[in-house]
Amino acid sequence: MIREALVVIDVQNDFCPGGALAVPDGDAVIAVCNARMATADLVVLTQDWHPAGHQSFASTHGLAPFGTVELAYGTQVLWPDHCVQGTAGAAFHPALDADRANLVIRKGTNPAIDSYSAFFENDQTTPTGLGGALRELGVTELVLVGLATDYCVKYTALDGRRLGFAVSVLEGGVRGIDLNGSVAAAWAEMAEAGVVRR
> What is the contact surface with Zn ion in residues (CB under 5 A)?
48, 108
d(CA 184, CA 169): 14
- Nearer to ligand VGL among residue 79 and residue 120 (C-beta): 79
Residue nearest to Zn ion (CB): 48
At its nearest, how many Å lie between ligand VGL and the CB of residue 148? 4
DSSP-derived pairing of the beta strands 4-9 and 103-107:
unpaired
At its nearest, how many Å lie between ligand VGL and the CB of residue 66? 10
CB atoms within 10 A of CB 135: 13
* Binding-residue pattern over the window 80 to 119 for ligand VGL, x denoting contact by CB under 6 A: ------------------------------------x---
HSE-CB for 61 with a 13 A CA cutoff: 19
Would you call 178 a catalytic residue per the annotation?
Answer: no
DSSP strands (E only) in 10-82: 42-48, 68-71, 74-77
Would you call 14 a catalytic residue per the annotation?
Answer: no
At its nearest, how many Å lie between ligand VGL and the CB of residue 25? 14
- If you ran DSSP here, which 8-state letter would residue 22 be given? P
**Mind telling me the catalytic residues?**
10, 107, 152
